[in-house]
């Protein structure tokens, strides 16, 4: 088990060198090393078109634009994944906090964290995602 600590085998697996070739430096840091982009810096924060958000690492379908909402936290926020099995939820006790990490269920890439403070949303959840971990395909 490497420093990333994969909890399960994933459908898409590459060694560290291949991930580095496939991803930009910042994308690698977020997706493979669980870094976090600076708040308010993400390219997808203000994306409001209809479409689909996918994993930048493997293309897995993750979030529909209709579930995106402005949480005021500085990162793109969604209230639910496109399918329950699209993401993997992992207990995260890093940095002296207790949180729930969200990973892509297909490649294990770190996407962000989910919090139970999505007040006013149908699920009550706030999936706080890194733009660097996502791609967006508009439907219009």
In the chain, DSSP assigns E strands to 51-55, 61-64, 68-69, 77-78, 87-92, 99-104, 110-115, 126-129, 134-138
Tokens (6 digits) for 58: 């493997």
Given its phi and psi angles, is residue 86 left (phi above 0), alpha (psi -120 to 50 degrees) or beta? Answer: alpha
Which run of H or E residues covers position 25? helix 25-33
104 catalytic per annotation: no
Which residues does the annotation mark as catalytic?
128
């Amino acid at each position: 088990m490497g420093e990333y600590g994969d909890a399960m085998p994933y459908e898409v697996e590459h060694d560290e060198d291949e991930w580095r070739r496939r991803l930009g430096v910042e994308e690698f840091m977020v997706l493979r090393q669980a870094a976090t982009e600076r708040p308010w810096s993400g390219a997808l924060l203000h994306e409001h078109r209809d479409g689909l958000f996918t994993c930048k690492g493997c293309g897995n379908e993750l979030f529909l634009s209709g579930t995106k909402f402005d949480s005021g936290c500085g990162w793109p926020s969604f209230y639910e994944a496109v399918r329950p099995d699209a993401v993997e939820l992992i207990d995260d006790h890093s940095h002296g906090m207790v949180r729930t990490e969200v990973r892509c269920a297909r490649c294990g890439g770190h996407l962000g964290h989910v919090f139970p403070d999505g007040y006013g949303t149908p699920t009550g959840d706030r999936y706080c995602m890194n733009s660097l971990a996502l791609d967006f395909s508009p439907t219009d």
